Amino acid sequence: MSSGIGVPVKRKEDKRFTTGKGKYTDDIRKDNQAYAAFVRSPHAHAKVKGIDASAALAMDGVIEVLDGHQLTGDGIGNIICGWAVNSKDGSPMNMGAWSALATEKVRYVGDAVAVVIAETQGLARIAAEAVEVDYEALPVIAHVMNAMTDGAVQIHENAPGNQIFDWELGDEAATDAGLAGAAHVTSIDITNNRLSPNPMEPRSAVATYDDAEEHYTLYTTSQNPHVARLVLSAFYNVAAENKLRVIAPDVGGGFGAKIYIYPEEITCLWASMKTNRSVKWTSDRAEAFITDAHGRDHVTTAKMGFDENNKIVGFKVDTVANLGAYMSLFSSSVPTYLYAPLLSGQYDIQNIHCNVRTYYTNTVPVDAYRGAGRPEATYVVERMMETAARELGMDPAELRRINFVQSFPHQTPILMAYDAGDFPKILGMAQSAADVAGFAARKAEAASRGKLRGMGYSTFIEACGLAPSKAAGSLGAGVGLWESAEVRVNPVGSIEILTGSHSHGQGHETTFAQIVADRFDIPIESVNIVHGDTDKVQFGMGTYGSRSAPVGMSAVVKAMDKVEAKVKKIAAHTLEASEDDIVIEGGEVKVAGTDKAMAWHEVGLAAYIAHNLPDGMEPGLKETAFFDPVNFSFPSGAFICEVEVDPDTGETEIIKFTAADDFGTIINPLIVDGQVHGGVTQGIGQAMLEQVIYDDDGQLLTGSYMDYTMPRAADVPSYDVSHMEDQPSPNNPLGVKGCGEAGAIGSPPAVINAITDAIGNNDLAMPATPQAVWRAIQAAKPVAAE
């Protein structure tokens, strides 16, 4: 089949994007549209003593200036974190109040206190500067390790010591005992650098209020429009769900940053009602840096013990996580349930304990960014394995191999039940592709040119397709983590698939169509995907956590099962055969072994004309399904990075990056490879280029692309990507595991392991900028004898 499962089908959606006909939120212009600009705090921490909007209101073209007192006065609710995590003593997390427009206090630079609505965007921004806010500056906590010190200023009233929760996973006593009896213990202190997601399309919202219908419409840059509507309705009291339509049209990348419902969307909706105008807000890049949720920002110490055979006997991890000034929508889950359960990696470890303390700081809220917790866990585990191998004098691949999980299913001591995999095989694939055998010769050749070569590994596991709902609920999730689908076969046989998954670059319009074309053996051109509109699709949980294939597609498969059953009934009835003998192939529905057949479209027509259906059968051919997986899926992989360092400058070049992945069944290798390329590049960005830096006053120093380094084409190599497909996931009908995050999860330790190998110094923090690498080289030089 030319467009079925496993075929590198070229993307159906590309034509509109390559010709400039994509329709992103900022491309939408409503009649009667006005523009919002936010008045934002220049202080990281301050009391708001007064707001004087008179000068702004006096400007010709300024429609309204609205503040937080008006917003809360109208009953707009506080922004919430939707995942309840309790401390180990059983106490609930300390969630501080977060109003979309701050009233009494601002808690980070960029915290909004008011909004200006004006006739043009330029005017709105100028008028926002004319709003005078009287602030009383307060002491600032800009860095997480300062949040817990005695006497530190308290950011939220209900969070003593600025702690949000003190959480643990695993058996501490058993882990301590394992470490106590170890023949060797390796300790590491590492920081997981804070990042800004930076989808290239800045966030944007266009809100319209229809006063006759008392109905709102919101176009927004969202990865999950239904969740946005749910939260806007149930928690923020903007409007009842039946009075609110949320549309996420073409969305220019998300990477987590577009999961959350931010102050701006809430405010635009409310302001559209207050002004009876359509209200548009589009972030610029500077605003994106101070409003889009940041990612990562962990400080960790870890110990791993090995017995005399170099088998792991205990792994203890202590992590401090910075959640920023407020708890964003899924912020609590990222350093807990998306992090600690992954600390077993690909290894059979009987004793693991992880303690995580989270704190408020006067910085932008921190939430999920591509990988979300799993990159942080992988970085701890894989830096640990490489460092331990060096201490033990072992080949780092061999140390991994002897500790690999060998049989499945495998229950870790920290919640996870790995479903399927073959870690030695994947590692072998990567080693062969990376020509590990030839590395020594390449290193010698580089040395002859005065360059330092290094090689680093990362063998990682992730948990994708967050599920099942019941388990997530028992761990504190405020939502279910299923997905829905509707399969509509039209009377002419063409098909529309309605899905709650959302594509913002992933290519769903192609891959979802592939599984339908594959199942019903019809041309892919006759399948269309409908998504991103709460008026069209009944409900859905959206796209994040590599869940669209394992969960979203599975819902489609379930709905297709129902369609197929009905198609077979109709065909059996029409062709006077047994349902069991009906097969669907070649565009026909036929009786196996005979020449009796109906064209595919004839079945569709029969269902809708309904002149001759089996007794009791409802007309039509449309089925819906909700899929709630029984478990996560567990993609795994082995990455090998080879670098060359210029010792004169500290500049590092990635010579070769090899990625061997197990994603289970692959729907479209073109698209899967693209996900790996992009994910690895973001991981290389984290490892070598990117870092959000605040000064001690809480001012963001990396607030534009002049100071925050985005990976460019010349910063990264072309990649060697391969896949193992013989261990499909048993937990969903397609056997898929999810591929969106693997690259970002697995790559940072591979890069740092390679650089530290090259320079002979394990003490190197991310990002490994030329200056950082140069310093690590200097520090590693033996002190010359006088």
Among positions 21-60, residues that touch another protein (CB under 8 A) are 21-24, 26-27, 29
Cβ nearer to another protein, comparing 317 with 676: 676
Report the nearest approach of another protein to the CB of residue 153 (Å): 25
CA–CA dist 319, 322 (Å, integer): 10
Site for another protein in 466-505 (CB under 8 A): 504-505
Report the nearest approach of another protein to the CB of residue 620 (Å): 35
Using a CB cutoff of 8 Å and minimum separation of 24, what contacts does 757-762 make?
A: 757/386, 757/454, 757/455, 757/456, 758/452, 758/453, 758/454, 758/643, 758/644, 758/645, 758/652, 759/452, 759/454, 759/645, 759/647, 762/188, 762/387, 762/390
Site for another protein in 182-241 (CB under 8 A): 198-202
Q: Which stretch binds another protein (CB under 8 A): 99-107, 119-127, 264-272, 337-345?
A: 119-127
Report the nearest approach of another protein to the CB of residue 362 (Å): 19
Report the nearest approach of another protein to the CB of residue 256 (Å): 12
- Pick from 14, 52, 134, 525: which binds another protein (CB under 8 A)? 14
* Residue 699 makes contact with another protein by CB under 8 A: no
Q: Which stretch binds another protein (CB under 8 A): 118-126, 270-278, 371-379, 476-484?
A: 118-126
As given in the structure block, the two tokens for residue 84 are: 């309840």
* Residue 98 makes contact with another protein by CB under 8 A: no
Q: Which stretch binds another protein (CB under 8 A): 143-151, 537-545, 614-622, 673-681?
A: 673-681
Query: Closest by alpha carbon to 302, among 337, 350, 351, 354?
Result: 354
CA–CA dist 738, 697 (Å, integer): 41
- Pick from 542, 679, 733, 746: which binds another protein (CB under 8 A)? 679
Three-state SS string over 132-167 comes to EEEEEECCCCCCHHHCCCCCCCCCCCCCHHHEEEEE
* Residue 92 makes contact with another protein by CB under 8 A: no
Query: How do beta strands 33-40 and 278-282 pair?
Result: parallel
What Cα–Cα distance (Å) separates residue 417 from each residue in 346, 422, 461, 747? Answer: 12, 15, 12, 24
CA–CA dist 528, 536 (Å, integer): 13
Cβ nearer to another protein, comparing 97 with 286: 286
Report the nearest approach of another protein to the CB of residue 37 (Å): 11
Half-sphere exposure of 200 (CA within 13 A, CB side): 9
CA–CA dist 325, 96 (Å, integer): 9
Site for another protein in 730-759 (CB under 8 A): 743
Helix segments in 190-284, DSSP class H: 225-234, 263-275
Site for another protein in 595-654 (CB under 8 A): 648-649, 651
Site for another protein in 504-543 (CB under 8 A): 504-507
CA–CA dist 554, 41 (Å, integer): 45
The CA-based angle 324-329-334, given to 5 degrees, is: 70
DSSP structure string for 17-79 = HHTT---BGGG---TTEEEEEEEE-SSSSEEEEEEE-HHHHTSTTEEEEEEHHHHHHTTPPPP
CA–CA dist 22, 10 (Å, integer): 17
Cβ nearer to another protein, comparing 30 with 285: 285
The CA-based angle 253-291-708, given to 5 degrees, is: 70
Cβ nearer to another protein, comparing 331 with 511: 511
Report how many residues bind another protein under the rule CB under 8 A. 77
- Pick from 20, 393, 438, 593: which binds another protein (CB under 8 A)? 20
Taking CB under 8 A as the rule, which mask of x and - marks residues 305-334 in contact with another protein?
A: ------------------------------
Q: Which stretch binds another protein (CB under 8 A): 335-343, 438-446, 626-634, 679-687?
A: 679-687
Cβ nearer to another protein, comparing 127 with 164: 127
* Residue 13 makes contact with another protein by CB under 8 A: yes
Report the nearest approach of another protein to the CB of residue 200 (Å): 4
* Residue 61 makes contact with another protein by CB under 8 A: no
The torsion angles phi and psi of 203, rounded to 5 degrees, stand at -65, 150
CA–CA dist 658, 668 (Å, integer): 20
Q: Which stretch binds another protein (CB under 8 A): 43-51, 279-287, 389-397, 409-417?
A: 279-287
Report the nearest approach of another protein to the CB of residue 687 (Å): 13
Site for another protein in 126-155 (CB under 8 A): 126, 129
Cβ nearer to another protein, comparing 277 with 504: 504
* Residue 779 makes contact with another protein by CB under 8 A: no
